[in-house]
Chains A and B, each alone.
Chain A
Amino acid sequence: MRSNPPGRVDTAVILAGIRLKNPVMAASGTFGYGTEYRGLSPASAYGAIITKTVTLEPRPGNPPPRLCETPSGMLNSIGLANVGVDRFLREKLPALRNAGTVVIANIAGRTIGEYARLAGIMDRAPGVSALELNVSCPNVAHGGVAFGVNPLTASRLTRAVRRAFRKTLIVKLTPNVADMAPVARAVAAAGADALSLINTLYGMSIDTARRCPSLGNVTGGLSGPAIRPVALYHVYRVSRAVRIPVIGLGGIMTADDAVQFLLAGASAIQVGTANFIDPATPEKIVKGLVAYCRRHGLKSLRELTGWLAG
């Protein structure tokens, strides 16, 4: 084993078989297909990029307005707008796989069969290191969150995808349930290699001047610093309920936020809404994590994961 030179902090993490140069990942839907931030934020700053959700067919998304700012947060009802898997493979993946980081494809389907078909296609896609299953989108009528609220359904879906996909399989879970642990356990038992949590919380806002919902889709998903304590709670709980790694996300803006998630039990973290506010967030968080380790005499970020007892 190679030892660290004094003062050097090892930022690498091994996440269910994939080596990430740092534990900071771009959350699905907030970093596009990895090239939109060109010139502002190099994709290579991230340990991994998770793509916008890809579906079998192109999807136009929900009627506007799709965004609404809320106190320290935002609601979105994008509705999985995406170019579809064919164009993703042809037009988006080639640039993405040369972006200098690990590529994780996020997928969603209307049926278990669609998920499995997409997983099979992604299994053969060059440069895709892992899959993240979106079973937690609050903004679509079919599929999405419907697969993520029931342990039995989530388990059947995970098993079907597991058969079609040989590389690392991550399942992204919804907090919109009474208890996340049963779904997390079911998905782990069905063959998931890791879990991402949390997706957005159901939310709503009303325009009082016009007396109508602020979002075209009426309801949306809440993200940003407003949900951070909720996300941290779920990461703490779920990471104790399963043996597979947990990736924490929900309102992470700074290195200190990221440290909290690691201490609570996350093996890696994702940055979502913060990309909109400051595209340099991943670089700042990685630098901040290193500084934190130096201050506390740690040689590796991996020492932080699950520090909290019990």
Chain B
Amino acid sequence: MTPSRLQARILSNREKKKGVFLMELKAPGIARSARPGQFIMVRPPHGSDPLLPRPFSIHDARDGSVSILYRVVGRGTEQLSGLGKGQALAVTGPLGRGFPIRAGNYRPALVAGGMGLAPMPFLAKKLAALGRIPKILYGCRTKGELLGPSTLGAVIATDDGSCGRRGLVTGLLEEELCRAGSCRVFACGPWAMLRQVSLLCQKSQVPCQVSLEARMACGLGACQGCAVRGVHGGYLSVCSDGPVFDSRLIDWEQEPPL
């Protein structure tokens, strides 16, 4: 599926939690062809500074619209957060390799840390449509940072124990991996979390797909800017070889590429 580029109108742009926004964009072509784990490039609207478009994973796609969940971390996301309904943004997508999902007799476990929750609602919806109701394991630092977990029916872990289990989301995954029946893991979150998830899955011989982040320029595999070192030596492009990878392909000993 080739990506398209359009001026997408903002349908809504709401602050869900302090500094975290959910933006819905009208983009029927992208909504129709998008697969979970894919991303879109969104260009902040104000001239040449900041200059580059930003990659965001697709939070959900439905009825001709796609949404992104983003935290304000710099000038680009700051500008996005100030936009309102009716304004238009240059959007390119869908891009990259998404989560490979197919029918079969397995238990999907979705592991999300912090903003790593972003691609999970779309993935959960598509898995459910295949008859595979996923278990969602979701960790963040504290209750105040939880992003709409009730709607997803997630099992929660917080670092400070203010909601759900006290500890890391990887602790929840260890228990999940002990349960009988074949499991498949789909994970998104900070590098350290993904490294641990990958390790646990390899120990249990459970297939594991991870969604990675990197700074990007083109988003298409042309500039080679978003490199991550692969386990066989050499580099993979997060934008076009990923952003979703079989966790065994990644060299987890490297510095996080972001």
The answer to whether B5 and A31 have CB atoms under 8 Å apart is no
CB distance from A180 to the nearest CB of B (A): 25
- Collect the chain B residues with CB atoms within 8 Å of residue A307's CB: none
B225 within 8 Å of A by Cβ?
yes
- Collect the chain B residues with CB atoms within 8 Å of residue A36's CB: 218, 220-222, 240
A278 within 8 Å of B by Cβ?
yes
How far is A60 from B229 in the complex, measured between Cα atoms in Å? 9
- Collect the chain A residues with CB atoms within 8 Å of residue B4's CB: 39-40
**Those of A206-254 within 8 Å (CB) of chain B:** 216, 224-225, 253
A65 within 8 Å of B by Cβ?
yes
CB distance from B231 to the nearest CB of A (A): 14
The answer to whether B222 and A32 have CB atoms under 8 Å apart is yes
| A277 in contact with B220 given A64-B235, A81-B227 (CB within 8 Å) | no
How far is A40 from B240 in the complex, measured between Cα atoms in Å? 15
The answer to whether B50 and A78 have CB atoms under 8 Å apart is no
The answer to whether B51 and A73 have CB atoms under 8 Å apart is yes
A199 within 8 Å of B by Cβ?
no
The answer to whether B90 and A37 have CB atoms under 8 Å apart is no
The answer to whether A276 and B233 have CB atoms under 8 Å apart is no
The answer to whether A74 and B234 have CB atoms under 8 Å apart is no
CB distance from B97 to the nearest CB of A (A): 14
How far is A49 from B240 in the complex, measured between Cα atoms in Å? 21
| A64 in contact with B51 given A36-B221, A37-B222 (CB within 8 Å) | no
B35 within 8 Å of A by Cβ?
no
| A66 in contact with B3 given A275-B218, A277-B53 (CB within 8 Å) | no
**Those of A80-133 within 8 Å (CB) of chain B:** 81
CB distance from A62 to the nearest CB of B (A): 8
- Collect the chain A residues with CB atoms within 8 Å of residue B175's CB: none
How far is A30 from B223 in the complex, measured between Cα atoms in Å? 5
Q: Which residue of B lies closest to A280 (CB)?
A: B5
CB distance from B103 to the nearest CB of A (A): 29
Question: Which of B52, B226, B233 sits near A60, CB closer than 8 Å?
Answer: B233
- Collect the chain A residues with CB atoms within 8 Å of residue B224's CB: 52, 61, 66, 78, 81
- Collect the chain B residues with CB atoms within 8 Å of residue A61's CB: 224, 227, 235
The answer to whether A72 and B225 have CB atoms under 8 Å apart is no
CB distance from B154 to the nearest CB of A (A): 30
The answer to whether B221 and A32 have CB atoms under 8 Å apart is yes
CB distance from B249 to the nearest CB of A (A): 15
Q: Which one of B52, B224, B234 has the greatest number of beta carbons of chain A within 10 Å?
A: B224
- Collect the chain B residues with CB atoms within 8 Å of residue A71's CB: 49
Question: Which of A40, A65, A225 sits near B258, CB closer than 8 Å?
Answer: A65
**Those of A24-81 within 8 Å (CB) of chain B:** 29-32, 36-40, 52, 60-61, 63-69, 71-74, 76, 78, 81
The answer to whether B2 and A38 have CB atoms under 8 Å apart is yes
B88 within 8 Å of A by Cβ?
no
How far is A39 from B49 in the complex, measured between Cα atoms in Å? 27
The answer to whether A67 and B226 have CB atoms under 8 Å apart is yes
The answer to whether A31 and B222 have CB atoms under 8 Å apart is yes
The answer to whether B257 and A65 have CB atoms under 8 Å apart is yes
CB distance from B225 to the nearest CB of A (A): 4
The answer to whether A39 and B53 have CB atoms under 8 Å apart is no
Q: Which residue of B lies closest to A66 (CB)?
A: B225
**Chain B 184-220 interface 0/1 with A at a Cβ cutoff of 8 Å (1 = within):** 0000000000000000000000000000001111101
How far is A40 from B90 in the complex, measured between Cα atoms in Å? 13
A182 within 8 Å of B by Cβ?
no
A151 within 8 Å of B by Cβ?
no
- Collect the chain B residues with CB atoms within 8 Å of residue A203's CB: none
B92 within 8 Å of A by Cβ?
yes
The answer to whether B3 and A40 have CB atoms under 8 Å apart is yes
- Collect the chain A residues with CB atoms within 8 Å of residue B48's CB: 72, 224-225, 253
A273 within 8 Å of B by Cβ?
yes
B253 within 8 Å of A by Cβ?
no
- Collect the chain B residues with CB atoms within 8 Å of residue A253's CB: 48
Q: Which residue of A lies closest to B92 (CB)?
A: A40
B59 within 8 Å of A by Cβ?
no
Q: Which residue of B lies closest to A79 (CB)?
A: B224
| A67 in contact with B218 given A224-B48, A276-B223, A280-B5 (CB within 8 Å) | no
Q: Which residue of A lies closest to B218 (CB)?
A: A276
- Collect the chain B residues with CB atoms within 8 Å of residue A67's CB: 215-217, 223, 225-226
CB distance from A138 to the nearest CB of B (A): 15
- Collect the chain B residues with CB atoms within 8 Å of residue A288's CB: none
- Collect the chain B residues with CB atoms within 8 Å of residue A69's CB: 50-52, 215
How far is A147 from B227 in the complex, measured between Cα atoms in Å? 27
- Collect the chain A residues with CB atoms within 8 Å of residue B216's CB: 67
7 A–B contacts, CB within 8 A, in A order: A30-B222, A40-B2, A40-B3, A65-B257, A66-B226, A69-B52, A73-B51
Show the binding face of A for B, using Cβ within 8 Å. Answer: 29-32, 36-40, 52, 60-61, 63-69, 71-74, 76, 78, 81, 216, 224-225, 253, 273, 275-280
Show the binding face of B for A, using Cβ within 8 Å. Answer: 2-5, 43, 48-53, 90, 92, 214-218, 220-229, 233-235, 240, 254-255, 257-258
9 smallest beta-carbon distances between A and B, as pairs? A39-B2, A32-B222, A36-B222, A67-B225, A64-B257, A276-B217, A81-B224, A72-B49, A72-B48
